A and B are shown apart, each in its own frame.
Chain A
Amino acid sequence: MTNNREHWSEDERVLLVAILDQLIPANEEKKIPSAGDPGTALYLAGIAAGDDQIGTLFARGLKRAAELSNTTGGAFVSLNNSEQIAVIRQLEEAEPAFFEALLRHTYMAYYSRPDIRALLGLLAKPTQPDGYDVPSETPEFMAELTAPVRRRGQVYRAC
């Protein structure tokens, strides 16, 4: 799949990024960015450009989002936080197929980013071939931990 910066108009892109900021907000304290960072929108553009059905769904959904924003009080980015959330909730009701696809692909795009994985404590790099260092328990430790189970004895039916 090819990311396509030109897939959406500038207005659509700005609107999408603002919605993404609401779907996965930032954690300022932990320096975890919101989903509105450029990478997520680019991924979604690639999805929409590579699949006519999703492309049409996204175009319709963004158009509806703009309409709902205008009805509420203007361009989505000009609305205050609670107004933006209210618009997204209306969008969720009005365009369920679009919203389901948007949410799913947003989560996939955002959490496939190595920088986000690292901020959550996981390896930024692929899990193979190095993996994680997890020490084995010693036989003595396991003997102590399993001692109550051993003391109780057989728990299966002999037959």
Chain B
Amino acid sequence: MSYEPVDVLIIGAGAAGAAIAWSLVETRMRILCLEQGPHVHDKDYPSRNQDYELSRYGDFSCDPNVRKLPQDYPINSADSEITPVNFNAVGGSTVNFLGHWPRMHPSDFRARSLDGVADDWPVDYATLAPFYDMNDRITGVSGLGGNPAYPDYKPPLPPIPIDKLGQTLARGFNALGWHWWPSDVAILSQDYDGRTKCVNAGTCDLGCAAGAKGGTNFTYWPILENAGVELKTGCRVREILVDEDTGFATGVLYHGPDGQVHEQKAEMVIVACNGVGTPRLLLNSKSKLFPDGLANRSSQVGRNLMFHPLTGVTGIFDEPMEGFKGPMACSILSQEFYESDPNRDFVRGYGLHSGRYTTPMTYALGGYGVDDPIAWGREHREKFDDLYPYSAGLTVVTEDLPEEKNTVTLDPDLTDSDGIPAPKIDYTVGDNTWKMIAHGEAGAEKALIAAGAKRIVGKGGDKVWWRAGWHQMGTCRMGSDPERSVVNGWGRTHDVKNLFIVDGSIFVTSGAVNPTSTIQALALFIGDSIKNNIANLFD
């Protein structure tokens, strides 16, 4: 079936799709969003169930290859050191993300100029700052103003409790004279905008049934649906169509919930499927004009895949740390080693994130993002009696540099349930990153001991966390040079004038922070640019 054209067709109802829809609502254009997942009601979140932890290893796993729900597509990550994770529903991965909300630094947008690596972004921090602020207000961000690691800004809500664990580690950083700060979080420390504050359940990844976590299913989408934005769920886009005469996108073919293929025409198409889903869709959209995939004349679609390789170091303290209480990934953040330092053997930097700890089943199975069950027998008993309650950890979150060899391509054999070729990931951790990890592990150990840890356990060794590909960036990067980038400085593809990309795939560099606040700030900025250029948008 073919539907009448809409003005704006957005593919993906996650972080970026919601933000740009919000930006464009005021134009009164007819906006339609196609989302392959369903609405997941908060009453169905596993955190309301007695056996909630089991869901982490089943139908609420962050890993689509584990969940295997009808709306998920498989990902071949056999040749990757990290496997991508996500969630397919209204809200996208903000349904199961952990809500950590740091901004990128000004220097993150100038890696080539400052450090001679990667490329500069075509936008800078100062340009994005008002959009970060706008997004923080809509999302309901908690944090403490005055962080010396950033130009001045103030989150709209006071920080969430850092509790004993965060206070203990903060004193350790203070003893060393190192930077730390309460984490900015997309989690409400107070009731806000009709939503209730965080209840410190500690199971953010299993869906925040309180609505305190700023998933776009709680923030943007209720506003958008009230404003008349049309949202169709259970609709998986197969390919984006182009007119071979004009070179413009004309709409999409998608598999609807009825199992049939439909055509939706559109004046403008905006892709918001993130760093794996977006290149997959473009590579699947082949035509005479674009035999190697849509908007891929540069051959950059799918290249330069960046994650944030992680490892963790755990300290054992004298007192119980009660790390299972409170938002699971967010307490305090040290950016002591974030900026480049010529005295180190690596460029760029990393953060030391103090997550809380974890729940017992996840601890027994090796930790969040790790598949390595702890020992059985007497050693098991000792770990649970003598280590688990007294543990506090620091996660080393490194900046990943773009490398062309790290790619998203199409798997020649694997398909989703609609027969659409699935993505294949080829990814290895770079030498610069390994040096950062070694430095970070040593730094984390030093900080934990300064905080009073009596023993150090759980260093990563020669592996990074496997199930840790939350942050998928770089595979359709921004740039002013059409030979070396896929979209321009405001998200429009160089090759197709009415096709935009607004998700993590357009990042030029990764920074060493969780990307969602930057993804949404960019989406709002791109929406603003579309409005500012509306008179000659497709010239």
Chain A contact residues, CB within 8 Å of chain B: 22-25, 27, 30, 85, 88, 103-104, 107-108, 110-112, 114, 116-117, 120-122, 125-137, 139, 142, 145-146, 148-150, 152-159
Contacts and interface: CB of A to CB of B under 8 A. Distances in A.
Contacts of B324: 121-122, 132
Contact of A134 (B161, B173, B359, B373): B161
A135 B174 contact: no
Contacts of B339: 155-157
Nearest to A148: B174
B361 interface: yes
B51 interface: yes
Contact of A149 (B163, B179, B200, B361): B179
Contacts of A139: 158
Given A126-B47, A152-B177, A156-B339, A112 B54 contact: yes
Contacts of B289: none
Contacts of B39: none
A130 B196 CA distance: 12
A132 B174 contact: no
B189 A107 contact: no
What 8 pairs across the A-B complex have the smallest Cβ distances?
A: A131-B199, A111-B361, A127-B201, A128-B209, A131-B201, A107-B364, A128-B47, A132-B325
A155 B324 CA distance: 31
A135 B160 CA distance: 9
Contact of A111 (B171, B209, B210, B360): B360
A130 B170 contact: no
Contacts of B146: 146, 150
A148 B114 CA distance: 28
B242 to A, nearest CB: 39
A114 B50 contact: yes
Nearest to B373: A103
21 contacts: A25-B378, A27-B381, A27-B385, A88-B376, A107-B364, A108-B365, A110-B364, A111-B53, A111-B361, A111-B364, A112-B53, A126-B52, A127-B206, A128-B210, A132-B202, A136-B160, A137-B159, A137-B167, A146-B182, A149-B174, A155-B148
Contacts of A154: 148
B50 A145 contact: no
B203 A128 contact: yes
B162 interface: yes
Q: Interface majority SS on A: helix, strand, loop or mixed?
A: loop
B377 interface: yes
Contact of A129 (B199, B335, B378): B199
Interface centre among B110, B114, B336, B385 (most CB of A within 10 A): B385
B463 interface: no
A156 B199 contact: no
Given A145-B170, A153-B148, A159-B114, A133 B360 contact: no
A128 B201 contact: yes
B428 to A, nearest CB: 26
Contact of B389 (A112, A120, A135): A120
B335 A155 contact: yes
Interface in B348-388: 359-361, 364-365, 373, 376-378, 380-381, 384-385, 388
B320 interface: yes
B315 interface: no
Given A25-B377, A127-B203, A159-B114, A146 B177 contact: no
B325 A134 contact: yes
Contacts of B173: 149
A107 B198 CA distance: 29
Contact of B365 (A107, A137, A146, A156): A107
B255 interface: no
Contacts of A25: 377-378, 380-381
Nearest to A105: B57
A112 to B, nearest CB: 4
B49 interface: yes
Interface in B235-263: none
Nearest to B378: A25
B149 interface: yes
Nearest to B204: A127
Interface string B261-291: 0000000000000000000000000000000
A27 B199 CA distance: 31
Interface in B380-414: 380-381, 384-385, 388-389
Contact of A150 (B51, B148, B189): B148
B115 to A, nearest CB: 10
Given A85-B377, A112-B53, A126-B52, 19 more contacts: A24-B381, A25-B377, A108-B53, A111-B359, A112-B51, A120-B388, A122-B324, A126-B49, A128-B48, A128-B203, A129-B210, A130-B199, A134-B163, A134-B200, A134-B325, A137-B159, A142-B159, A156-B339, A159-B114
